[in-house]
Amino acid sequence: MIKRNDPCWCGSEKKYKKCHLWSDSCLEEKRTEKLRRIKHIPPKTKEEINGMRRAGVFNGELLDYLRPSIKAGISTEEINSLAHHFTVNHGHIPADLGYNGYPKSVCTSINDVVCHGIPSEKAILKDGDIVNIDCTTIVDGFYGDSSETFMIGSVSEKARHLVMVTAQALIRGIDAVKPGRPLSVIAEAIEPYVLSEGCSVVRQYTGHGIGREYHDESFTVYHHIDTDNQQTVLVPGMTLTIEPMINLGGWKVVLDREDEWTVRTADGSLSAQFEHTLLVTETGVEVLTLTPSQIAANVRLLVDGKAFK
């Protein structure tokens, strides 16, 4: 280690204290501050990871069960009823029901509804709609959370484009997850791509940590680029959701003043969302809520829509 009175490392022939000592000290202080600010989230135990896997499998199976029924003519209340009874009949719990006063077991968000749409007998799916079905379930105390946007019948080219971009955004976000990387890589993989496709990323609603709690508040998963996510490191054993909400217009949203749940695009444009629950592994990522049927459905969606560039 170079000492104060040693010749400076730069070759100036000055003593180190008269040359680069001060600037080197400043750099070291910056490095120390950066390390201090990095958040290492405690990983889950093997038992907790196995619990999350079981929760993820069932949650994916629930969406598989609902998929054939999501077509023109069904009400969103019927979808809610199907999801509720399937969950309860398997001995599990619909996480949304009663959460902070939410009145239903799933969220059903149609067209310009970004998220938290409340199922209703009056909301009947019709040809040309897009609808996001967001399901969260509790299996033996662990949460599984996923959602998918469905295209009903013959949708417009703009709607199809939005759904394809949103599906691709989720895939890019998942592919970015690697141990040792900052959490910000997810947003860095999603937002530039979405903007290049003429769409926008909702900023007010994000992904989150998940496990024995619905929303683990120790970190937030942004889908738009935000410096806060540079302070959290992805480590093996972390579980989280990635759930980009993508708008065909601007990113701003408004909350329904009557039900205080339904979130819509501020400009009335269409919105779509896809979501999975993930586990960071030693080598990359494991998608806990992805079933073989969903893989097939999403591959067809992406190939038919030519979303890959």
Task: Assess whether pLDDT exceeds 80 at residue 108.
Answer: yes
pLDDT tens digits for 176-206? Answer: 999 999 999 999 999 999 999 999 999 999 9
pLDDT of residue 228: 64
- Give the per-residue pLDDT at 66: 96
Domain-by-domain residue ranges, the chain?
Answer: 43-305
**Per mean pLDDT, which of 14-23, 110-119, 214-223 is the most reliable?**
110-119
Question: CB of 111 within 8 A of CB of 258?
Answer: no
pLDDT at 306: 43
- The pLDDT, as a whole number, for residue 33 is 47
Percentage above 70 pLDDT, the chain? 86
Share of the chain above pLDDT 90, in %: 77
Q: Which of 275, 132, 114 is nearest to 204 (CA)?
A: 114
In Å, what is the CA distance from 220 to each residue of 240, 243, 285?
9, 12, 18
Residue 292: its pLDDT value, please? Answer: 77
Average pLDDT over residues 50-54: 98
* CATH class of the region 43-305: alpha beta
Q: What's residue 229's pLDDT?
A: 65
Give burial (CB, 10 Å; 0-12/13-18/19+) of 128. Answer: middle
For residue 302, the model assigns a pLDDT of 61
Mean pLDDT across 85-108: 98
pLDDT for position 35:
42
Report pLDDT for 24. 63
Mean pLDDT of the chain: 89
